[in-house]
Each structure stands twice: as structure tokens, then as C-alpha cells.
Amino acid sequence: MNELKQICKDVLTEKKARLIIGYSEDKNKKVKPYIARTPEDAEKFTFNHNAVNNLAVYIPRFKNHFEGKIGIVVKGCDLKAVTALIQENQVKRENLFIIGVNCSGVVRDTDKDFSKDNSQIKCKYCQMKTPGYFDAIAEETIEFELTDDDQAEMMAKIEKMTAEERLDFWNAEFEKCIKCYACRQVCPMCYCEQCIAEKSTPKWIDTSATPRGNFAWNTIRAFHMAGRCIGCHECERACPMDIPLSLLTRKMGMVASAEFGYRPGMSIDEPTLIGSYSTSDKEDFIK
């Protein structure tokens, strides 16, 4: 952690970045997003198993507000969101100062210690413990063992359902939705200045938290994430109603990967799935 603090202090002292988005710990030991603007501020930075947030969500917000580079502390999984934002032209690589951290997994329940049973689902099949590229990296790390990917079991179970059973399953989940839009706000890829849920001329989807409105919102968000979701699962973590949203986004990602061999956030030079085409693209999904 001292290494991370030192890197951040140096970056701010040498003005390599105007500010750094990282994590700090409050008096209740809750790790939360924090912005340092001076080397003294950087003293508050921390990183541990409780650093769950994907800080890339703040990049679109700050890109227009400040001149100079934005510094950002990223775990391997979060870097995929940064990469995807660069791929989608939301920020330029040269406008970022990326400070990587080696991650040893993050918790699911922040009130309990990190363990095999208390880790985020994404950590269970993580292949990105070290960020793929960076301007600086805090190397210190503790190894952790991957545990069973129990979400894959759930996905297999849902896939075996009939269309009607699946609809019942999702309707029961979506019924809980209160339209707080935490899933949207916490998502680094949900950066639209005007969300489809806010359009009124014409109004595409019901804004009411009714079964009809909830179904429309949650399915349309899942579709907008197809081939774009980088799998940070922040939507599911933020949902106050415990809707298993990452089941949907992960499935869409698997479809994009199986059908087009594309995974978002893997390379800043790769064209996006939606923004490119190939004559060899399969068309058998159009029925």
C-alpha cells in the first residue's frame, strides 16, 4: 500500500496527472472511491480486498471538467472498462495516467473478511489479476486461489429452462426492481448523456416500476450491454433489490464471444463489436 501511495504522490508532485481517482478507507474501515488532487491527499490512498468499486465509471464524468491527465487506480478487471471506454472513443489513452494494482480478489460482503466464500463472483474466474498495461504499477500482492464458479452452474440451469420458465424466472426477479437506476449509474459503460429511459419524445419505455416497465428497462439494458459489458458486475453489487443482473450481462458477453469471437476491453486498438463488421460475420441469429 505504501508503494501505491508513493507512486500517487510522485505522479501528483511531478504533475503527471491533474488528479488521481483511487480508494480511501473511512473511519469505519469502508473502502470507497476518493479523489486526490495534491500529494498530501495521496496519503489517504489505500487498496485491499474491500476495494470493490470499478473506478472507471468516473472517467466519463471527469473527462470534460479538467485539463490535463486523469490518474486512475485500476485492478485488472477494471482496466477492461478503461480499455473499452478508449475503444468507444470516450477518452483518449494519452489523457489517462493508469496506475495498476495487483489484485488478490475483492469481497462480496464488505462487512466480512475476504475468503473463498466471500468473494465477488467475477473473482472466481478471474484471469486478470495484473492489469495488462499501465503507466505505473504497485506490485505488492497476495496470491489467492480461484474457487468454484457457481454462477456458471446457475447459468447452465437457466439455459436448460424452457422459454416460458425463463420468462417466469426473470419476471419474478424484475418485479423487485424499484427503478433506482443504481445499475446504470454504477456502470462504466453506461455513459450516455441521455439514457433511453429518459427519452420522452417518443417515450420508448415506461419509466414506472411496474412489471411492464421493469421488464422493458432490464431487458433493454441487457441488450445495450451485449458485446460491451466487461464483466465487472458492479450493476449486481449496486442493486438494492438483489436482482442477479450479472447473469444477464455475462450471458450476453458469452454470446458475443461465441458468435463473433469478440471480448470487449481486451485491446485499445481493436474495433468494437457494434462499431465494425466483417463479411465473415455469422448471420444465423437473424430469424
Partner 1 sequence: MEELIISTENFKKIVKELQEKEFRVIGIPEGENKYQEITVEKELSLNSEAAPAGSSFKEYFFPKSEPIFFYKQNNGSVDLFDPIEDKKGIVVIGAKPCDASAMPIISKVFNWDYKDDLFNKRYDSSLIIGMSCHYKDDYCFCVSTKGSPENTKGSDVFLTTLENNYFKVATITPKGEAFVKEYGKHFEKDEKKHNPVERKEAIPEHFNYEKVKTWLDNNFENKFWDTAGEMCLGCAQCAFVCPTCHCFDLVDEQCGSCEGRRAKNWDACQFSLFTKHASGHNPRDNQEKRYRQRISHKFKYYMDKFDDILCTGCGRCARGCPVSLDILQVVEEINAFAEKS
Binding site for partner 1 (CB under 8 A): 26-28, 30-35, 53, 57-58, 61, 110, 178-182, 184-186, 198, 203, 206-210, 213, 234, 237-238, 240-241
Neighbours of 148 (CB within 10 A): 10
45 secondary structure, DSSP code: B
If the CB atoms of residues 63 and 179 are measured against partner 1, the closer one turns out to be: 179
Task: Confirm if 184 and 190 have CB atoms less than 8 A apart.
Answer: yes
Degrees, nearest 5: CA angle 54-185-173:
100
Tell me how far, at minimum, the Cβ of 43 lies from partner 1, in Å: 16
For residue 86, the SS3 value is: helix
If the CB atoms of residues 74 and 238 are measured against partner 1, the closer one turns out to be: 238
Tell me how far, at minimum, the Cβ of 210 lies from partner 1, in Å: 5
Tell me how far, at minimum, the Cβ of 143 lies from partner 1, in Å: 27
Closest CA to 56 of 215, 247, 264, 263: 264
Degrees, nearest 5: CA angle 262-265-266:
70
Instruction: List own/partner pairs for 235-239 with CB under 8 A and 24 or more apart.
Output: 235/182, 235/183, 235/184, 235/186, 235/187, 236/121, 236/183, 237/52, 237/108, 237/120, 237/186, 238/182, 238/183, 238/185, 238/186, 239/182, 239/183
Tell me how far, at minimum, the Cβ of 182 lies from partner 1, in Å: 4
If the CB atoms of residues 79 and 186 are measured against partner 1, the closer one turns out to be: 186
Tell me how far, at minimum, the Cβ of 39 lies from partner 1, in Å: 17
Cα(48)–Cα(73) distance, integer angstroms: 12
If the CB atoms of residues 64 and 162 are measured against partner 1, the closer one turns out to be: 64
- H-run or E-run covering 85: helix 76-87
Closest CA to 81 of 266, 225, 252: 266
Tell me how far, at minimum, the Cβ of 57 lies from partner 1, in Å: 7
Task: Confirm if 45 and 21 have CB atoms less than 8 A apart.
Answer: no
Tell me how far, at minimum, the Cβ of 53 lies from partner 1, in Å: 6
Distance, C-alpha 75 to centroid of its chain: 11
If the CB atoms of residues 17 and 273 are measured against partner 1, the closer one turns out to be: 17
User: What is the side-by-side strand order in the sheet with 70-74?
Assistant: 31-36, 19-25, 70-74, 96-101, 136-138
